[in-house]
Amino acid sequence: MNEGRQFCHERGRPFLEARALGKTYQVGGATVHALRDVDFTAAQGDFIVINGPSGSGKTTFLNLISAIDRPSHGEVRIQGVSTNELSERQLAGLRKEKIGLIFQTFNLIPVLSAAENVEYPLLLQRLPKAERVSRVEAMLQEVGLGDMARRRPNELSGGQRQRIAVARALITQPKLVLADEPTANLDSETGGQVMELMRRLNEEHCVVFIVVTHDPAVTPYAQRKIRIHDGQLTEGVVA
Amino acid sequence: MTWWIPLRSLVRNRRRTALSIAIVALGTAISFFVYGFLEDSRLQIQASTVSEYGNLQIASPDLWENTADGYEYLIEPAAQAQVRTLLEAHDGLTGITEQLQFPGLLASGNETQVVRITAQVPENDTLTSDGFVVDGRSLQATDVAAVLVGRSLAARLGVGVGDVVTLTLTTVDGAYNATPLQIVGVYRFTSEQVELQRLFMPLSFAQRLLNTSGVDRLVVNLSSIAATDREAAAVQRQLDQAGLPLEARTWYELSPIYQQLSGYFDILFGFLTLAVFILVFFIILQVLTLAFLERTREIGTVRALGTTRGEVFRQLIAESAWLAVLGSLAGILIGGLLGAGFNAIGIEWQPPGTVEASVLSVQINGLTMLPPFLVGVAATLLSSIFPSVQTSRLRVVDALRVE
């Protein structure tokens, strides 16, 4: 990451746009509106925090803008390209190249070491081994886990696992990182370290961070704060 | 993507992986053991058949089809010489002998037996009887009215070496002829039927008895059984080019019993293979379905990271391929050890219709390893296709929701 370090000259340039975005589910014959006609934009360099009560549609929103689910109506455009027009294979390519995902429960691959988990997205990109190794080493140093490279996920603490998950999300130098409750399983100190890491990467690499959280400790990191309630978005004021 | 990720996934649940490998190994080992046993039996029958018929025989189609009127199929001396000249140019040939077979009645005292006489050049290098003689001696070049009889025939007629028996036959002209013959040796053979019906005498004396200078076939031996088809085809081409109305037939064409047994072995192995295949297929299908189901969330994660369905499918198939190869290799090892143990015990068995027990053994070599190995690999790989397709087609969001 250090090699690619750049200060955010592209800050403010539109990156992601959602128009009339909606998602409905059929539950026992009834139609449930998980997300209703949401309009949303994110520009490069944004650090957006989304919160809202359970079942309000936060995860559904994240799934749609991360291209792992398709909307029932409306569209998501990433750098001008509508995800509705992309095939499954192209969506996988989009996620691989442009999006980093951080899950609440880390979702590390248990049979791989910390370094291998971080290396995995680079394997998908078919980068040469030497480049993969140097980037993984640099990223592990950056998240402060250079000496934990060979450990398996079950040999790491919750905070260490989340930092590995962050490293995995950032190793491909994505333009957009989506984090679902990244501090939910961490103590406050570790949660703070993870958020600091995200903020630094946001500032230094111009990465768009969209963080869904209930954790009030995350709010101070937000440049924009958005609340979801009953499937609808409300832009808040950052204090 | 890489070869080691699927392998690493296998060690995640060691007990399940060990169970899968054990199932594939068991099926492969059983298949290998039985196939090795059948192949050994087949090889023993091959060797016995070739020792009886030679590698190939050359005769008139009338003889093979039994369409001759009397002895019209006999090959006269000029044609015999011509065939010999053609055959001697072949590299893989180890011996040629002329032969004349005909029916007769052999009598001793009040006992009479229908026999089939095989008259051949004594001490020839093709169908030597040296290894079969259990009493007395083989036929020699100086023998005239001498005969070699089977052990079972000697017992039935109550005769032995040095005794004289009477042979009655029909000459090529249709006249009756009878002659006393002295038994110079008694031979053994694997088949009781052969011991009872077949007797050997010098060709020159048989030709005198039948009043002919012809023979009914030339018997050819080759350096290897595997070369039979190739040499038979080459000989047939030469015979056709020379305008000789003769046909070369291989040992297996001449032995309907070998063909029946070989076909029976093929069916037996086919059924066993099918049973092993079905067993391995369904058990591994069940095991993999459960194993992949447990990894739904992980599959959702790698898909969310950008792995395509095709890459997930290939990765799951690669895991199954490791299982297939490791299980089948273990099966070959276990089957080989079982076979070696079985061979070391040296169990004997006397098949029906034979006069001697033979040692049962298992062929352990690359040729007998390959089919069971392939069956193990194929059954495992095929069983993995359905769960791999199902798993790779999971919706990412649904997979990620699974706890």
- Give residue-wise pLDDT tens across range A72-121: 999 999 999 999 999 999 999 999 999 999 988 899 999 899 999 999 99
Contact call for residues B158 and B198 (beta carbons, < 8 A): no
Quick check: A68 contacting B, CB < 8 Å? yes
Nearest CA in chain B to A70: B397
Quick check: B296 contacting A, CB < 8 Å? no
Residue predicted with more confidence, B352 or A215: A215
Q: Which two tokens stand for residue B35?
A: 């196939």
User: Does A53 score more than 90 pLDDT?
Assistant: no
Q: Which two tokens stand for residue B126?
A: 């093709």
Residue A48 amino acid letter: I
Give the closest-approach CA distance of B28 to chain A in angstroms. 29
CA angle B161, B166, B168 (to 5 degrees): 140
Determine the length of chain B: 403
Cβ of A103 within 8 Å of Cβ of B5? The answer is: no
- Give residue-wise pLDDT tens across range A60-79: 999 999 999 999 999 999 99
What's the confidence (pLDDT) of residue B125? Answer: 60
Quick check: A111 contacting B, CB < 8 Å? yes
CA distance A177 to A192: 18
Quick check: A107 contacting B, CB < 8 Å? yes
**Which residue in A97, A124, A168 is closest to B307 by CB distance?**
A124
Cβ of B305 within 8 Å of Cβ of A121? The answer is: yes
Partners of B349 in the beta sheet? B358
What's the confidence (pLDDT) of residue A1? Answer: 40
User: Does A6 score more than 70 pLDDT?
Assistant: no
Cβ of A112 within 8 Å of Cβ of B5? The answer is: yes
- Give residue-wise pLDDT tens across range B230-269: 999 999 999 999 999 999 999 999 998 889 989 999 999 9
Number of CB atoms found within 10 A of residue B386's CB? 12
Read off the pLDDT band of A187 (50, 70, 90): confident
CA distance B389 to B68: 65
Q: What CA dihedral angle connects B152, B158, B161 and B163, to 10 degrees? A: -140
Contact call for residues B53 and B251 (beta carbons, < 8 A): yes
CA distance B136 to B184: 6
Q: pTM of the entire structure?
A: 0.77
Quick check: A123 contacting B, CB < 8 Å? yes
What's the confidence (pLDDT) of residue B355? Answer: 64
Identify all chain A residues contacting B310, using CB atoms and an 8 Å cutoff: 89
Identify all chain B residues contacting A124, using CB atoms and an 8 Å cutoff: 1, 305-307, 311
End-to-end CA distance of chain B: 26
Question: CA-CA distances (angstroms) from residue B229 to B55, B56, B226, B248?
Answer: 9, 9, 7, 10
Q: What is the pLDDT along chain B (403 residues), one digit of tens a residue?
A: 677 788 888 887 788 889 999 999 999 999 999 999 999 988 888 888 888 889 999 999 988 887 776 788 899 999 999 999 988 888 888 888 899 999 999 999 888 999 999 998 887 666 666 668 899 998 998 999 999 999 999 999 999 999 999 999 999 988 999 999 999 999 988 788 889 999 999 999 999 999 999 999 999 999 888 889 999 999 999 999 999 999 999 999 999 888 998 999 999 999 999 999 999 999 999 999 998 998 999 999 999 999 999 999 999 999 999 999 999 999 999 999 999 999 999 888 776 666 677 888 999 999 999 999 999 999 999 999 999 999 999 999 999 988 7
Domain ranges of chain B: 4-49+258-401, 61-245
Domain ranges of chain A: 14-235
Quick check: A24 contacting B, CB < 8 Å? no
Of A2-16, A158-172, B278-292, the one with minimum mean pLDDT is A2-16
Cβ of A111 within 8 Å of Cβ of B309? The answer is: no
The CATH number that domain A14-235 falls under is 3.40.50.300
Nearest to B281 by CA among B378, B356, B141: B378
Instruction: List CB contacts of A54: < 8 A, sequence separation 6 or more.
Output: none
Residue B303 amino acid letter: R
What's the confidence (pLDDT) of residue B92? Answer: 80
**φ, ψ of residue A183 in degrees (nearest 5):** -110, 5
Identify all chain B residues contacting A97, using CB atoms and an 8 Å cutoff: 306
Contact call for residues A38 and A21 (beta carbons, < 8 A): yes
Q: Residue A1, class by beta-carbon neighbours within 10 Å (0-12 exposed, 13-18 middle, 19+ buried)?
A: middle
Read off the pLDDT band of A4 (50, 70, 90): very low
What's the confidence (pLDDT) of residue B308? Answer: 94
